[in-house]
Amino acid sequence: MSCQEVVELLSAYLDGELDPTTLERVEAHLAGCDGCTMVLEEFRETIRLSGGLTVEQVDETQRRTLLEAFRDWRAGS
């Protein structure tokens, strides 16, 4: 699984919405990729800092904006 695929699945990962096979693949990738683990932690921190909102309380547009920002960060933009 590529970093891009993992980043795109982080919201579903945090929501507990991944099927068992995909969950296993994401977790295996995270176990070996410091960059994606850092993106995941940044995503969690952003959620924490956003006033205690749960992932479910962030609307889809906001999620996409966050994911795009993380993708840009990951790409070095």
pLDDT digits (tens, 9 = 90+) for 13-69: 998 999 999 999 999 999 999 999 999 998 888 877 776 666 666 677 877 887 788
Helices (H), 1-77: 3-15, 20-32, 34-49, 60-75
C-beta atoms surrounding 7 within 10 Å:
21
Q: Say if residues 30 and 36 touch (Cβ distance below 8 Å).
A: yes
pLDDT digits (tens, 9 = 90+) for 62-71: 778 877 887 7
pLDDT at 9: 94
pLDDT at 52: 63
State if pTM tops 0.95. Answer: no
Q: Say if residues 71 and 3 touch (Cβ distance below 8 Å).
A: no
